[in-house]
Chains A and B, each alone.
Chain A
Amino acid sequence: MTAPLLEVNDLKMHFPLGGALFGERRYVYAVDGLSFRVERGETLSLVGESGCGKSTVGRAILRLLKPTGGQVVLAGKRIDDMGSAKLRPYRRRVQVVFQDPFSSLNPRIRVRDALAEPINNFGLAKDNAELTRKLNMLMDKVGLPREALGRWPHEFSGGQRQRVGIARALAAEPDLIVCDEAVSALDVSVKAQIVNLLGDLQKELGLALLFISHDLAIVEHMTHRVAVMYLGKIAEIGTKRQIFARPRHPYTEALLSAVPTPDPLAKRERIMLKGDVPSPISPPSGCRFHTRCPYAFDRCKSEEPRLREVEKGHEAACHLNDRDAQDNPLLSGARA
């Protein structure tokens, strides 16, 4: 078996809190021991509510941040501790598309120059003719007219800018694109176009996508596997079918129950979570979710559940899964 494209082992990202001149230095535990893999050509979605550390994971994989601990392994090479010179050839393989189509393009750089930047940086074109050919091809791929190469970012609509952003990511000929809420800022029809574009590109180029999102409807539409994050940790990870049909973590169950259904007559049991997300500065003891979990019992307060395989390819971090099926509320209230 070949090595996965991306392997993240026990990734930790702690940010020191400023102002602690005296006394104990405190940290924000934004990401606290996270492991997952992304295979070539697959989509892994990272979902969770805002503030749970999804974007931080993306930034650590892109090496825009240096991880506090753990490993990021890209195609068999550890990139988490590489210096900037050694890192350069690996940068090409992971690119990014951001949420806000307005601030993700430099307002003073024409589309042509924005797209040519990665091509030139990584020496992907031998001469000008090849550069022009590649630029035209990129525009064709993302469905923009070739003439638009000479335009400024402010001459485009939000959806078009997002296409430019995708073209820029593709220009580096990457293996993996981190889509950090890439469609969240777009309106519904444009969102669908961009999601389909990403799907087509994935099939055509064999791209892997790390799709960071809070929009479960979109995730269900386009992903292969899902990782659910809660407070800097993975609560549950599995294939789309496993996660959406039979979640094995109460947090996933609650998230899914919050997805709106288009049928107004459909009966749904909405699981309301009490309270807010606890602060990542001082995360709760034991299971991080126990403060809001409807099924919490004594063990959850003291012992942290480990991510454990519950069926093939499906892992969850919940003590309930140690129980027999008939005592497990996650299994009895069958959703499928």
Chain B
Amino acid sequence: MAVEARTLAPPPGLKVAEELPDVIPARKPLKGFWGVVRRRPAAALGGAILLAMIAVAAFAPLLGTVDPGELAPSRRLRPPSADFWFGTDMLGRDLYSRVVYGAQVSLVVGFSVAVLASVFGLAIGLVSGTVRWIDGVVMRLIDGMMSIPPILLAVALMALTRGSLQNVVIAITLAEIPRVARLVRGVVLSLREQPYIDAAIAAGTSTPMLVIRHILPNTLAPMTVQATYICASAMIVEAILSFIGAGVPPITPSWGNIMAEGRALWQVKPTIVFFPAIFLSLTVLAVNLLGDGLRDALDPRMAKSL
């Protein structure tokens, strides 16, 4: 019936729409580098800023810097100029050099804490999510640690030791571990309800193998995302510790130290606080953007688009 109807001439006066082309060519989704940039511009921007920061930290001596600790009382508190791009501080040190070298501290702290807290948190979370009786003990401990704000915990830990980069990393890591352990444990508990875990148990897989083969790989995606947020938060905590004088020694240029020293002169020379603050904010923003991008990309439902 329908076929016959189509062959009939249209009634007079009726305008017939133009035939559409048979095939509308599909736009191919861009693959590879430009595809990622196009689909996740925010994450790509974050990645670019972070890469730039890493380059700045790695090649600090080659970027027209001078010794960041060199004192020159005769030219203190200079405004930004061609010689001193960001100006000088109250001891005549070149602010540009100090900010560039400060990137090293922030990035080292951020990445070390992210890696260490992930590894230990993952181990604790896996064990605690798998073994019932350990879970009870460990989780009460973690509850206790979580009741103390991480910054306060880090300050308290730093008060017990000397200020050094290593101790800062340890203190912040200890403060961050509970959050990771909690996250991993939650993921493990939800995975354990999956039928494929039951099937693996019925298939004779021992508990350690069950964790390694079936549980661990499925925790890595949320774990990686959490690690980026920890990286960002560690950089901020480091700056706070340095700012209140509980972080790396004042002789080391770190963004927190520079801001702490410039604080007294905020109304006279806001640039001293301004430049390290901009760098810190940019870096933290970059890491967080990257984390959001990763979170979307690692979602199994969106895995195809990567």
Measuring CB to CB, which residues of chain A are less than 8 angstroms from any residue of chain B? 59, 62, 64, 84, 88, 91-92, 94-96, 98-100, 103-109, 117-118, 121-122, 165, 168-169, 171-172
Decide if B300 touches A107 in the complex (CB within 8 Å). Answer: yes
> What's the minimum C-beta distance from B240 to chain A, rounded to whole angstroms?
39
Q: Is B205 an interface residue (CB 8 A)?
A: yes
A-B contact pairs, 19 of them (CB 8 A): A62-B202, A64-B198, A84-B206, A91-B201, A91-B202, A98-B198, A100-B195, A103-B194, A103-B196, A105-B196, A106-B196, A106-B200, A106-B214, A108-B217, A108-B218, A117-B213, A121-B203, A121-B204, A121-B205
Q: Which of B199, B201, B204 is in CB contact (< 8 Å) with A122? A: B204
Decide if A59 touches B198 in the complex (CB within 8 Å). Answer: yes
Q: Can you list the 5 inter-chain pairs with the closest CB atoms, starting with the nearest? A: A121-B204, A118-B203, A98-B195, A104-B195, A106-B196
- List 16 additional contacts besides A64-B202, A106-B194; criterion CB under 8 Å: A62-B198, A91-B201, A92-B204, A94-B202, A95-B202, A98-B195, A103-B196, A105-B196, A109-B214, A117-B200, A118-B204, A121-B205, A168-B199, A169-B199, A172-B203, A172-B204
Closest to B194 in A: A103
CA of A59 to CA of B202, assembled, Å: 10
- How many inter-chain residue pairs (CB < 8 Å) link A and B? 64
Contacts A106-B214, A109-B214; A168 near B203 (Cβ below 8 A): yes
Q: Which of A59, A64, A94, A117 is in CB contact (< 8 Å) with B205? A: A117
Which B275-303 residues sit within 8 Å CB-CB of chain A?
300
CA of A64 to CA of B201, assembled, Å: 7
Residues of A contacting B206 in the complex (Cβ-Cβ under 8 angstroms)? 84, 121
Decide if A165 touches B218 in the complex (CB within 8 Å). Answer: no
Which B174-222 residues sit within 8 Å CB-CB of chain A?
194-196, 198-207, 213-214, 217-218
Residues of B contacting A172 in the complex (Cβ-Cβ under 8 angstroms)? 202-204
CA of A109 to CA of B215, assembled, Å: 11
CA of A84 to CA of B206, assembled, Å: 9
CA of A88 to CA of B196, assembled, Å: 18
Closest to B301 in A: A154
Residues of A contacting B200 in the complex (Cβ-Cβ under 8 angstroms)? 106, 117
> What's the minimum C-beta distance from A290 to chain B, rounded to whole angstroms?
35
Residues of B contacting A92 in the complex (Cβ-Cβ under 8 angstroms)? 204
**Size category of the binding interface on chain B:** 10 to 19
Contact with A along B61-81 (1 / 0, CB 8 A): 000000000000000000000
Decide if A88 touches B204 in the complex (CB within 8 Å). Answer: yes
By CB atoms of chain A within 10 A, which of B196, B214, B218 has the most?
B196
Residues of A contacting B218 in the complex (Cβ-Cβ under 8 angstroms)? 106-108
Residues of B contacting A168 in the complex (Cβ-Cβ under 8 angstroms)? 199, 203
> What's the minimum C-beta distance from B283 to chain A, rounded to whole angstroms?
32
Residues of B contacting A171 in the complex (Cβ-Cβ under 8 angstroms)? 203
Decide if A104 touches B202 in the complex (CB within 8 Å). Answer: no
Residues of A contacting B199 in the complex (Cβ-Cβ under 8 angstroms)? 96, 98, 104, 165, 168-169
CA of A84 to CA of B205, assembled, Å: 11
Residues of A contacting B196 in the complex (Cβ-Cβ under 8 angstroms)? 103-106
CA of A96 to CA of B214, assembled, Å: 17
CA of A165 to CA of B199, assembled, Å: 9
Closest to A105 in B: B196
Residues of A contacting B207 in the complex (Cβ-Cβ under 8 angstroms)? 84
Contacts A106-B214, A108-B217, A109-B213; A95 near B195 (Cβ below 8 A): no
Residues of B contacting A107 in the complex (Cβ-Cβ under 8 angstroms)? 218, 300
Residues of B contacting A104 in the complex (Cβ-Cβ under 8 angstroms)? 195-196, 199
Residues of A contacting B203 in the complex (Cβ-Cβ under 8 angstroms)? 91, 95, 117-118, 121, 168, 171-172
Residues of B contacting A117 in the complex (Cβ-Cβ under 8 angstroms)? 200, 203, 205, 213
Closest to A100 in B: B195
CA of A23 to CA of B205, assembled, Å: 40
Closest to B214 in A: A106
CA of A172 to CA of B202, assembled, Å: 9
Residues of A contacting B201 in the complex (Cβ-Cβ under 8 angstroms)? 62, 64, 91
> What's the minimum C-beta distance from A99 to chain B, rounded to whole angstroms?
8
Closest to A113 in B: B213
Closest to A94 in B: B202
Closest to A64 in B: B198
Closest to B304 in A: A154
> What's the minimum C-beta distance from B206 to chain A, rounded to whole angstroms?
8
Decide if A91 touches B204 in the complex (CB within 8 Å). Answer: yes
Residues of A contacting B195 in the complex (Cβ-Cβ under 8 angstroms)? 98-100, 103-104
CA of A29 to CA of B300, assembled, Å: 38
Closest to B201 in A: A64
Contact with A along B144-188 (1 / 0, CB 8 A): 000000000000000000000000000000000000000000000
Residues of B contacting A169 in the complex (Cβ-Cβ under 8 angstroms)? 199
CA of A300 to CA of B202, assembled, Å: 40
Contacts A103-B196, A104-B195, A106-B214; A96 near B204 (Cβ below 8 A): no
> What's the minimum C-beta distance from A100 to chain B, rounded to whole angstroms?
6
By CB atoms of chain A within 10 A, which of B200, B202, B217, B300 has the most?
B202
Residues of B contacting A64 in the complex (Cβ-Cβ under 8 angstroms)? 198, 201-202
Closest to A88 in B: B204
Residues of A contacting B205 in the complex (Cβ-Cβ under 8 angstroms)? 117, 121
Residues of A contacting B198 in the complex (Cβ-Cβ under 8 angstroms)? 59, 62, 64, 96, 98
> What's the minimum C-beta distance from A303 to chain B, rounded to whole angstroms?
38
> What's the minimum C-beta distance from B306 to chain A, rounded to whole angstroms?
14
Residues of B contacting A84 in the complex (Cβ-Cβ under 8 angstroms)? 206-207
CA of A92 to CA of B205, assembled, Å: 11
CA of A123 to CA of B57, assembled, Å: 54
